[in-house]
Amino acid sequence: MDIRYSANQKDFKRYTTEEVRNEFLIENLYVANEVVAVYSHVDRMVTLGCMPTTETVSIDKGIDVWANFGTNFFLERREVGMFNIGGAGKVTVDGIVYELGYKDCLYITRGAKEVTFTSDDANNPAKFYMVSAPAHCSYETKLIKIEDAAKKPLGSMETSNKRVINQFIHPDVLKTCQLSMGMTVLEPGSVWNTMPCHTHERRMEIYTYFEIPENNVVFHMMGEGNETRHIVMQNEQAVISPSWSIHAGAGTSNYTFIWAMGGENQAFDDMDAIATTDLK
């Protein structure tokens, strides 16, 4: 497992392009029949990717759970949310099978002992994108289909950010300990996300960008509002955003991204807005 330690905003100002990418960018999440995991010391969030092809893959494959978490199994003191951004697949949680189509979401509560992944078609494998947060209580494991997500249209074509926010793992949809996740879909002709931008001191965030057309990229903005930097991101990559950093982006085409948050609270209006004209 790749372990990323916390970075502070003062040191971040002096980072080179390579250092920014090494600290915050997550690449190559989907390897056949493997689990790729990145542990961030920012709120102890774990980002994972699994692409089963010809095997049934366990969530802890290749992870030394005791050495990394001090627990007997991965979700003993954690919760996890996941989206399928590939072909149809199945997730089995303690013997119960959940079928996930494209853009479907599954929340698994703390205490699930056995979690495995399979694809319906090895030639069109599922791609399970996951974020896990520490949890001190248990709720209900739940499958949320894309059509059942709470949909919030926002933005306009005039400001190049017409989009639909799909709330899945969200206080208005289901109870969790601290994890929140959703999916934002930009319409053709729109490229900006999360503008006007903001920070939230009590929560960190992780984005993954996908449905980026071939030969296109997303410029993900981060850093303090008066000291911004960017990371050029390609399809199916993820990025860690500490609480002190803005998290916004603009693509060379429209795209879709999944956001995940964890931290002290789940109040979505608990943020510090930054006027676009104040950015530097």
What confidence tens digit (pLDDT) does each residue in 167-213 have? Answer: 999 988 899 999 999 999 999 999 999 988 989 888 899 999 999 99
Provide the pLDDT for residue 85: 98
Give the helix ranges, DSSP H, for the chain: 9-12, 17-24, 65-69
pTM of the model: 0.96
pLDDT value at residue 270: 79
pLDDT at 103 over 80: yes
* Selection from 113, 118, 121, 80 nearest residue 98 by Cα: 118
Residues 279, 167, 133, CA angle at the centre, nearest 5°? 80
C-alpha span between 195 and 274 (Å, rounded): 9
The span from the CA of 275 to the CA of 268, in Å, is 18
**Residues facing residue 263 across a β-bridge:** 203
Lowest-confidence pick of 40-44, 48-52, 90-94, 264-268: 264-268
Q: How far is CA 51 from CA 46, 118, 126, 233, in A?
A: 17, 8, 6, 20
CA distances from residue 263 to 8, 68, 120, 240, 258 in whole angstroms, order as listed: 17, 20, 35, 13, 17
Residue 258 CA to residue 206 CA, distance in Å, equals: 8
Residue 264, SS3? coil
